[in-house]
Amino acid sequence: MLTVPEAAKRVRKDPETVRRWIRSGKLRSRKVGTQHVIDEADLVTFLDEPKMLPLPKALRRTFWGEAMPNVVAWIRESRERR
């Protein structure tokens, strides 16, 4: 179980962002006293959910017919290595 500040450190976000996710129902949590606690599995599930809409069919391939590179994944991987 993680507190909001601990979860925020793990996802490299501001604690208020994590609280917004909880208030909007995007991230599950339980209230213990006055604090929200988040199960680590719920945090992982939330982060693994796709946040982007799928590309239209016309944009899935490059001009020369190859699959479009996943630039978002490249950026995420580079940030994780920091």
pLDDT in tens, 1-59: 899 999 999 989 899 999 998 998 888 899 999 899 999 888 888 887 766 677 788 88
Q: What is the pLDDT of residue 61?
A: 85
Tokens 């069919």 identify what position? 57
Q: How confident is the model at residue 62 (pLDDT cuts 50, 70, 90)?
A: confident
Please give the residue range of the domain that contains residue 22. 2-80
Is pLDDT above 80 for 74? yes
More confident residue, 66 or 51: 66
pTM of the model: 0.58
Q: What is the pLDDT of residue 50?
A: 66
- What is the number of structural domains in the chain? 1
